[in-house]
Chains A and B, each alone.
Chain A
Amino acid sequence: MNHLSKLMLCPLLAAMLAVPFYSATAAEPAKSKSTNSKSKTATAAEPATAPAVAETATAPPVQQYQYSTRPAAIAGGANPFNRLLKVAKVPHQSASGDEIHDPTNEGTMILQPPLEAYDGLPQTETGLGNGVDWVKALDDGNIKPRWERTDPTAEPMVMDMNIVRVPKSSMPDVVFPHRQHTLWLACSNCHPDIFIPRKGANQINMASIVLGQKCGVCHGKVSFPVSECKRCHSQPKKVAVNGGGPTQ
């Protein structure tokens, strides 16, 4: 390699190196600043550590919601909703283009596209998950899923009992409706493995839910995602007359 080509390569290299740092700066300014300066010294002093530093500096880019039904408040702009919850770029793709089905497989083309099945079903406000309000679809009679494998006339034993949980944070209280759950599930699906059926016996917090325990066993995978906060945190907190100040 002659000297001229080396000179030409340098600005290119600098630009390529700058790209991941730039995107990282957009995500978390404080952290990337320190890694940026660190990586400069590391590249100069000991080249062996350079790859590791570059890897930590490139955080995955912020995912923008692409749903047509998104409310204007989270439509991007200066404060996009960002908890690094990965959302499909183009929702409800047919099997031939959804990036997990093999388009060369002869059976793939026979599979029904999701949007065809969702035609006429009530939609959720956020459009997250399947974008379908499954409980409403069931209540309105849009779908008639069987309760028993072979008997289309079998009816579930619905238990209509709400459980209110008061979070320690300022979030509205959680109302857990047994009715919507017993429409779909048997008692033994949740009790006693996931939830002990006794008042006060279950410690639930958002951290464990996001890690896939408690409500997170289903919610966030098949049932509506945890990012639909208001569907659980649905009851305004009861505030004391003195606004929660000291008693007496």
Chain B
Amino acid sequence: MKLDLVHDIQAAYRLTLDSMSRPGLISNISNQADKLNMEISCFGSTLVLVLMLFDTEVKFKVCSECEAETAKLINQLTYAKETEIESADYILVLKDAKPEDLEEVFRKAYPGDLLDPHKAATIIIETDYVSNDQNLTLTGPGIEKESYIDVKTNDHWVKLRAEKNTEYPLGIDLIFTDWYDNILCLPRTTQIAKRVIK
């Protein structure tokens, strides 16, 4: 069955909205991602997010070994324009990106300015697996007391994110996707602490 660009995208949006408003809530959009019938070098869930959010108004950057072909395909599908990291509204860090790519993305991504903090970049990062294992503790708006996550990735993203988001309301928002089409959102308001077992 083909992805329904109205109803499937709406369903995926509501799950993304849930995850963004309740950081730590992992939503699965495989029902929608499985309906994609095209060859592309990113996860199905990443492409569903692209179809949900990208259009001519959006500037994006892809970090991947297949950067050129992925960017071309996204442009053909959505008419969004490829740009540099500094000016991108959305930055896709795909599974095959190098660890230094992620570091560069965190360093260069636009955090918004005090007049327009909403113009900050959203970074979509592909990982092996996201779960609610008790590795990282989240607190902040959207979380009743604490919630727990584990993101299977090799990079020091927690530290990089904390450095980038020191001056709230400036900061970047993250969306993680994984092989199983789970999505996990971390808006800039979420505080992350490494869980210490006493």
Are A and B a genuine interacting pair, yes or no?
no
